[in-house]
Amino acid sequence: MKAIRVHQFGGPEVLKLEEVATPRPSAGEVLVRIHAAGVNPYDTYMRAGTYAIKPPLPYTPGSDGAGVVEAVGEGVKKVTRGDRVYTAQTLTGAYAEYALAREQQVHPLPAKIDFKQGAGIWVPYGTAYHALYHSAKAHASETALVHGASGGVGIAALQIARAMGMKVLGTAGTPKGLEMAKREGAHQVFDHRKAGYQEEILQATGNRGADVILEMLANVNLAHDTKLLANNGRVVVIGSRGEVTINPRELMSRRASIRALVLWAITPAEEADIHAGLFAGLENGTLRPIVGKELPLADAARAHKEILEPGAAGKIVLIC
C-alpha cells in the first residue's frame, strides 16, 4: 500500500510517499481502507519534532481518517467488514491507503457524512466539543466568542455552540473566512486583522463581554481576551504558538478564569461523551464538517505548508 513516511524530523519535505506492507489486524484491531485523511496543525508540529509527543521513527502521520472497514481481528464486535467509519487516532497512521486501529479508535460514520468530511471529524470536532462542554461548561443563555473561527476547530465550535443555543461571535482574517464563519453559525463576525476589532466585539455584547472565549492563538490574543470577558467568563486556550504576558487583575475583577486543554489528555468517559455527542450532531445535521481543500496523498508536504498559512477556510484533506 502507499503511505506517507517520516524517517527524520524536519520541514514538510521529510514527508515521503512510499510503498509499504499493508498491515494485518491482530486481536482487537481493525484494518480500515482510508479514503481521506484530515490534516491538522499538530501533525506539522509532530513532523518537526517540536511537539510534546515524539513518535518513534519512521512513522506515518495522521490521526483523523475516514473509510471502510477492510478486515477485523479476533474478538472485534463494534464493527464488521464493509462498515463506514472515522478514526480517532490509529496505530499505524492515517496518511495511508490502509490504517490499523484499535477497536475503540474507530467510530461509525453517519450515512449523510462523506469520507472527506469524515476525515475532518475527530481532532476539530472532538476539541471543540471538549472545549465547550467539558472545559467551559457552556450554557445556552451565554455568549461564545470563537477566536479563529475559519479553521477546522473554529468551524466545528461555531456549529456546536450554535446548536447549543448560544449567541455566537466569530473572527477570521479574510473575507472568505468571515463569510464561512457567518454561514456556519456565527451571529456576527469580526476581522482579527483589523485594528480595533476587539472594541467592536465588546460593543456586540452590549459592553458586557463574552462568557466563553475559545482561543486558537493565545500567544497573540490572551492579554486582550481577558478584557473581553463578562463576569465569571472563561477563556479556553486551544491553540498557542508562543509566550504571552497578561494582567491577572483583568481576571480578578471579573472573577474570570483561563482554562486550557489538549485533546489527547481527555478521560475515557469524556471521550465516550464526545463521540456520542458528535454522532448525534452529524446524524441530525447540526454538525457538517467543511472541506476547504482536497489534495492527493502525494501532496502531503504541500498540505503541511498550507495548513500553517493565513486564510483558513475549512479543512485540508488528503485523498488516499
| Contact positions vs ligand NAP (CB under 6 A) | 40-42, 123-124, 127, 147-154, 171-174, 177, 192, 216-217, 220-221, 238-239, 261-263, 307, 310-312
**Closest distance of CB 177 from ligand NAP, Å:** 4
For ligand NAP, give the closer residue by CB, 263 or 320: 263
**Closest distance of CB 132 from ligand NAP, Å:** 13
For ligand NAP, give the closer residue by CB, 99 or 216: 216
Three cell numbers at 150? Answer: 475559519
For ligand NAP, give the closer residue by CB, 98 or 129: 129
Tell me if 66 sits within 8 A of 110, measured CB to CB: no
**Closest distance of CB 231 from ligand NAP, Å:** 23
**Closest distance of CB 88 from ligand NAP, Å:** 12
Tell me if 105 sits within 8 A of 29, measured CB to CB: no
**Closest distance of CB 214 from ligand NAP, Å:** 9
Residues 6+ apart with CB under 8 A from 143: 166, 167, 168, 169, 205, 208, 210, 211, 212, 230
**Closest distance of CB 309 from ligand NAP, Å:** 8
Tell me if 278 sits within 8 A of 288, measured CB to CB: no
For ligand NAP, give the closer residue by CB, 136 or 220: 220
For ligand NAP, give the closer residue by CB, 263 or 318: 263
The residue at minimum Cβ distance from ligand NAP is: 151
The Cα 94–Cα 273 span in angstroms is 23
Which of 89, 312, 315 is CA-nearest to residue 217? 312
**C-alpha distances in Å from residue 143, one per residue of 91, 135, 173:** 39, 15, 21
What letter represents residue 173's amino acid? G
For ligand NAP, give the closer residue by CB, 283 or 306: 306
